[in-house]
Amino acid sequence: MDTVEVTLRLDRSVAQRLRDPAERARYEAFLGLVSSAGSQAEAEEAIRLLKGSPKVRQRRLKKAFDDMRQAASEAGISSEDVERELAAWKRERASACHRP
C-alpha cells in the first residue's frame, strides 16, 4: 500500500485519543472508507461505523460477511473456492513483499 503522512489540525481531545494505536487505526480505516465512498449513503455508513460501539461494528461486519456468502453461493462460488483464492492472494502478496 502506498501511504503518505499528513498533518491535521484537531481538537486537543481528538489528538489525545489518536495517541492510542487502536484508535488511530479506526480513524485511518474511517478516512479510507470515506475517501473511497461512491455515494453520500456510503459516506454516511462509514460515519455510523466509526461512531458505533464494538458490538455494533461486529454486527455490521457479520452481516456484510453473510451478504457476501449469500452472493457467492448464488453465483455458484463455494467456500473452498474462496479459500483457494485467498491463499493464492496471500502467497502473491508475500512474494511481492520479499522482492528487492
Q: What percent of the chain has pLDDT over 70?
A: 96
Looking at the structure of the chain, the number of domains it has is: 2
Residue finishing a domain among 14, 29, 51: 51
Please give the model's pTM, rounded to 2 decimal places: 0.48
The residue segments making up the domain with residue 36 are 1-51
Q: How far apart are CA 17 and CA 56, in angstroms?
A: 20
Q: What is the mean pLDDT of residues 8-18?
A: 89
Q: How far apart are CA 21 and CA 32, in angstroms?
A: 16
Residue finishing a domain among 33, 51, 69: 51
Same domain, 2 and 39: yes
Same domain, 82 and 42: no
Same domain, 12 and 39: yes
Same domain, 10 and 35: yes
Same domain, 8 and 43: yes
pLDDT the model gives residue 96: 79
Same domain, 45 and 57: no
Alpha helices in the chain, H assignment, sequence order: 12-17, 21-36, 40-51, 54-74, 79-97
